Amino acid sequence: MTSTQAGPFGRALCAMITPFTAAGDLDLVSAREHALRLIAEGCDGLVLSGTTGESPTTTDEEKSALLRAVREAVGDGVPLLAGVGSSDTRHTVRLAQEAEAAGADGLLVVTPYYSRPPQAAVEVHFLRVAEATGIPLMLYDIPGRTGTRIEPRTLLRLAEHPRIVAVKDCAYDLLGATKVMARTRLAYYSGCEEMNLPLYAVGGAGYVSTVANVAPGRMRAVLDAFDAGDTAEAARLNALTIGLVEAMMASGLPGTVTAKALLDAGPVREPLQPAGREATDGLRRVYEELLAAAG
């Protein structure tokens, strides 16, 4: 059954890792292979160069090269969003224009971080990016990392721009999200796996998931059951994923580190450090339990 509430980029999106070689260089061969595997196993689209993609430690040239390589691998029918957020509006605009030229279908734009701009400045920042390109924006609201919220009132104003079409929501404010969805056309994507089903149930468009790097089919199955009208099955399947979500996203290690450990996908870039043997073994146990329980 096809969802009637799927957003502009589909429902099930993966915040894709960026593979590196043992020497720490961009591994485009592995990136192509991983992207193809994710699409084959249930992802509607991919988000490149986000937090999970280690965007703070990849160069502008690497971001463009990764996007071009993945676009070549998956073809034109798969939505690709490029993370272009930075703390500098001019740099963000330049990244957005380069991503558009490299074949992005949309842009993931995080709130400017560290400087903690007031809401009026946050609004101007997003509008500058929206006016600088011809492709749609997904705004990334993650105050736990940026230090600044995109307040619901700000989102209501930004929703008036035709190219601001979606929100990746990591604000843990279901009330605020519900109010904005009710008053705008913005498509809300959960950016926190434990909120995937709750947000979808109140009208969300889907999710952008780090855990989908290792379990794309398991994450998608929850939404498929909900769309089929079997909410009890959706809840059951969602409960099965919680152990892996907790192990990957709430264990004290970043999701990038845990995803790469499970995938054996090469090193992370410093200041991140790879998961140790004990942590990796624990992750594998939880992952195997999910596979066994889900059948």
Q: How far apart are CA 105 and CA 47, in angstroms?
A: 10
What interhelical angle do 89-102 and 119-132 show, nearest 10? Answer: 30
Residue 74 in this model has a pLDDT that exceeds 90? yes
The chain-wide mean pLDDT, for the chain, equals: 96
User: Percent of the chain, pLDDT > 70?
Assistant: 98
12-215 is a CATH 3.20.20.70 domain: yes
Residue-range domain boundaries for the chain? 12-215
Write down the pTM of the prediction.
0.96
Identify the band that residue 83 occupies on the pLDDT scale cut at 50, 70 and 90: very high
Residue 290 in this model has a pLDDT that exceeds 70? yes
The 10s digit of each residue's pLDDT in 94-148 is: 999 999 999 999 999 999 999 999 999 999 999 999 999 999 999 999 999 999 9
Active-site residue among 140, 188, 189, 287? 140
Strands (E), 105-171: 106-110, 137-141, 164-169
Q: In the annotation, is 63 catalytic?
A: no
The 10s digit of each residue's pLDDT in 245-264 is: 999 999 999 999 999 999 99
Q: How far apart are CA 45 and CA 81, in angstroms?
A: 8
User: pLDDT value at position 1?
Assistant: 35
- Asked if residues 167 and 188 have their Cβ atoms less than 8 Å apart, the reply is yes
Looking at residues 203-212, what average pLDDT do you find?
Answer: 98
Q: In the annotation, is 168 catalytic?
A: yes
- Asked if residues 131 and 160 have their Cβ atoms less than 8 Å apart, the reply is no
Find residue 265's DSSP bridge partners.
Answer: none
Eight-class DSSP state of 264: T
Q: How far apart are CA 216 and CA 262, in angstroms?
A: 13
Write the CA distances from 134 to 45, 107, 276, 282, integer angstroms: 19, 10, 44, 45
Active-site residue among 63, 113, 168, 200? 168
